[in-house]
Amino acid sequence: MFIVRTVILWIIISTIINAYLMTLPMLVLRKRDYPANYLIQHNNRIDFQQNTECAAFSTAYLLRHFGMEDEGEALYTRFPSKTKAGNVYPKGIRTVLRKKGFKTNYYKGNINTLKYEVSKGTPVIVFIKVQKDRNNLHFVPVVGYDKEYIYLSESLRRLVNCDDEHKGYNRKVPINEFKKLWNIKRIHMLFYSNTYIAVDTTQS
């Protein structure tokens, strides 16, 4: 009984700490209509990170989508919510975007809700694993989808698997594979699988 209480208390404390450091995602499960295939058609470039700057590179990509020129490397130097290892919590991305005048939502959903959000025409930043069998986490913009694939603007050069020219994406991931990458749940992070950051363009 003592062990059970200790585990429950530890989970509660971890959740409170994560809510402060990362913000809690808002659960969205309502199915909405969206096109079967969609790709954001917008001139943008994909820059490549050197270390652990994926949050800044994803944010810079989103800013460029709205015509605000920025580079991930420069943005990272002043990025908030960093860990000692240099990683960034989702809260950091939202803080930067808010300071730039954007309203964001941090959602926990599924493939359907993600596709619906992308179909609005704005890149959506997802929180995934770098590899399905490892715990290293990664932020990357989703820029399209179809019945088989999720299309990404990937800032890790080694993960690029298709030609970016005239497409706006440089990585495509089969949806079943993407679901495994998107499952980042751990005992101290129970609520962060299937999460993504979306800009609310109606209020920005």
Rounded to whole angstroms, the Cα distance separating 144 from 169 reads 8
Judged by DSSP in three states, 73 sits in helix
User: How many structural domains are present in the chain?
Assistant: 1
**pTM of this structure:** 0.89
For 159, the domain range is 1-200
Distance (Å) of CA 85 to CA 3, 51, 88 = 31, 11, 9
Digit-coded pLDDT (tens) for 64-112? 999 999 999 999 999 988 887 788 889 999 999 999 999 999 999 999 9
Q: What is the CATH number of the domain that holds 63?
A: 3.90.70.10
